[in-house]
Amino acid sequence: MDILRDVLLMFIPGLLTGIAVFLLIRHFYGIENDRAEKEHRLERLRLVSPVRLQAYERMVLLLERMTPSQLIIRNVLPGATATELQQSLIGNIRQEFEHNLSQQLYISSNAWELIKNARESVIAEINAAKEKLEANAPATDLAQLLFQADMGNSNSTLHKALEFLKNEARQLF
């Protein structure tokens, strides 16, 4: 009995010490893992934030370049027909959009949907204006119709997408 008591008196403090060391080491590793994860998250945020901000800038630029007035200024050709201008405008919109497709990785899905809707809305607006004209109408007639529609349409899908992007970017940064 004395031997059992002596073994227990030696074994129990060692066991308690071992458990205490184990718990301390586990707690230390937990704290270190949390710290490392926070550092990793901050580093990732530091690297991704400029790219995300640039994506918002590019999307705002895309929407600004898709406004009918900006499109016309860049695409009007002297002596062109309305059909040629229509094709040029729509081609320019599609080219600009395709050039910025990869930016959807960095903006929200809602923002991307609004941008796609804005693109389709502008194309539909160009096509609708062209339908109002005769087949061989000059490009200036189409440009005039688009300028008038753009002036009277401050609540368009394009403007809504632009405001949404600006607000979203302000909230993130």
Residue 53 to residue 47: CA distance in whole angstroms: 11
Contact 126, 86 (CB under 8 A): yes
User: What is the DSSP code string of 85-106?
Assistant: HHHHHHHHHHHHHHHTGGGGGT
- Please, what sign has the CA dihedral across residues 122, 78, 142, 85? negative
Q: Answer yes or no: are the C-beta atoms of 85 and 142 closer than 8 Å.
A: yes
Percentage of residues in the chain having pLDDT higher than 90: 68
For residues 68-78, average pLDDT = 88
C-alpha to C-alpha distance for 164 and 157, rounded to whole angstroms: 10
Higher pLDDT, 45 or 32: 32
In the prediction, which pLDDT does 24 show?
95
**With bands split at pLDDT 50, 70 and 90, how would you rate the model's confidence at 103?**
very high
31-45, 75-89, 123-137, 141-155: range with lowest mean pLDDT:
141-155
In tens, the pLDDT along 113-167 reads 999 999 999 999 999 999 998 988 999 999 999 988 878 776 789 999 999 999 9
